[in-house]
Structure 1
């Protein structure tokens, strides 16, 4: 009897050692190259080796990521600094635990005659409603632009193609590729390269999760960054899962997205070049907070630093 109980105990211990923590991760949009590291970590077993059973859910235009996170329907989301800071103001206690991209990938696509963002005077600028509460006030103030120059951006590129005096918001891996495919010569200007401070493609969770399950958060952050290193080296495994989730995505678009991410050094540029991927700094977060307050996008909040924690990226650095 004693030996039987011992055997059962050993089986239970073995099972516990190999049990996988179930995690749901919500992306910001339909599956694409900019989500590749997460899919790669699933496809290659990186998450599983970290003891994580990760389910990736796609976001989209009708998905409010912060509400999904607050409702407990996702453990982590692919977030934005503005979202988290605004969420604190509206009573959603989330926090950013790592920055996958050292630069926000938001930018402006122009026709070939425009050589810099300083040359937008007199241009019609297509801005989505989300842009008006994030980058537009910064761009407007920096280059003395007028609200009268703007028109709504409806995620349709035809108005841009039809009018050579038009510029529009976009991301480097999507809109420029579509323009190139249709024979249009364009320039793409990344706001981050002109001083726009927010991070991009951040890992966000609830403050309670970071406080009560730090070991889980640490494993997820570490495995995710390993997934991104792997994806940028050989994106094929992750791309197969991306195309499965989003059948409209094709190999050429994915390849262009990877090319752009490498060119702009989203993952390993900036502070990450010296301090390692995922890194964040107090100084950068302060810049973003002050930008939001100065542009009337956020009320002063003495607890604004709850929007992020350096605990997990510092632990990564210490373990290297």
Structure 2
């Protein structure tokens, strides 16, 4: 009888030891799971993108990538900071207060001239929708036809310097452009700078028939809404840049079919723009984003020939002080292969 009790005690001791071992293993497994979860969470990297203007359809791919989780699936938590007249994405990114920015190609070249080394990693628009807008029936067919007219143009805007160097515009009366069109509407012979994707829609809403002359018809046609980083950031964060560019392009690919839904999101981000205006912009910018070289080579595509042409134009009009290799200023290596 005594022997049985000792055996029972032995079995109980063994069971207790086994239980403790299992509990320890279970705790270790739980600990491992928590560690793996924490590790997964820590892989999500926070980055910031500064837009070149208030949220518009030209940023549709960004908001599509956010809404449809393209950034998140690539391990990125992206903060989108709106631009505006007082916001310089180039200065913000150069100062290290954001990792990614959007700007036009000529702005990037001028920044390079000022000692800011930037690298373009995707060109959202293959050409420039910048234009001069005038009242319908005014018969403006070429840039020299601007002579004798009042032209509303932003002081120091690069393409205006180019046009004045290429054409005799000495009889133009320059007036400062402030984004308002009241004076243009009242003055039937006047001309104003505009974007093909925006202002004609606003004039249509005001029942003011207008026509446009694209700046690109002069041969000045920089890439627009270019995604860029600093050279230093790129060299140290190639994997992050790769993930961001892949997500960005995926967002634009998705936006082509989901623009109606994404534009509603953009209106929430920018209540000062109407949904109808965004839809007009989406339609008129389509060929700039998805056509031209992008039709054959994919969204974001760039060539050295285009960058060199733009650089030489800026050199010719004295906006660049010295020549340099543009191959250091853009990279297509992060763009997805186009099939």
The answer to whether the superposition gives a TM-score over 0.5 is yes
| Structure 2 residue matching 1:165: 3-state secondary structure | coil
**Matches for 1:65-144 after TM superposition, within 5 Å:** 65-113=89-137, 114-118=139-143, 119-131=145-157, 134-144=158-168
Query: Do residues 311 (structure 1) and 336 (structure 2) align?
Result: no
1:28–1:65 CA contact under 8 A, matched in 2? yes
Q: Is the 8 A contact 1:43 1:237 kept in 2?
A: no
CA contact (8 A) 1:104 1:201 kept: no
Give TM-score scaled by structure 1 length. 0.90
Structure 2 residue corresponding to 1:12, chosen from 35, 39, 50: 35
Match status 1:275 vs 2:300:
no
Of 160, 172, 191 in structure 1, the residue corresponding to residue 215 of structure 2 is: 191
- The C-alpha deviation readout for 1:156-197, integer Å capped at 9, x for no partner, is 101211112111111122211111111111112332344223
Q: Please, which runs of 5 or more residues in structure 1 have no aligned partner?
A: none
Quickly say closer, same or farther: Cα 1:165–1:48, change in 2 above 3 A: same
Q: Equivalents in 2 of 1:192, 1:229: separation in Å?
A: 25
How far has the Cα of 1:115 moved from its partner?
Answer: 4.8
* 1:294 equivalent in structure 2: 316
> Partner of 1:56 in structure 2?
80
The structure with higher relative contact order (CA 8 Å, sep 6+) is 1
Cα-to-partner distance string for 1:31-88 (whole Å, 9 max, x where unaligned): 1112111111111212112221111110111112211111211111111112221222
- Alpha-carbon separation, structure 1, partners of 2:102 and 2:171: 30
Shift in Å, 1:295: 0.7
**Residues 40 and 237 in structure 1, CA contact (< 8 A), matched pair in contact too:** no
How many residues align? The count is: 313
Q: Distance in 1 between matches of 2:122 and 2:170?
A: 35
Distance 2:66 2:153 in 1: 35
CA drift of 1:122 comes to 2.6
CA separation of 1:39 and 1:147: change in aligned 2, threshold 3 A:
farther
**Whole-angstrom distance in 1 between the partners of 2:313 and 2:35:** 53
Give 1 or 2 for the bigger CA radius of gyration.
2
Shift of 1:23: 1.5
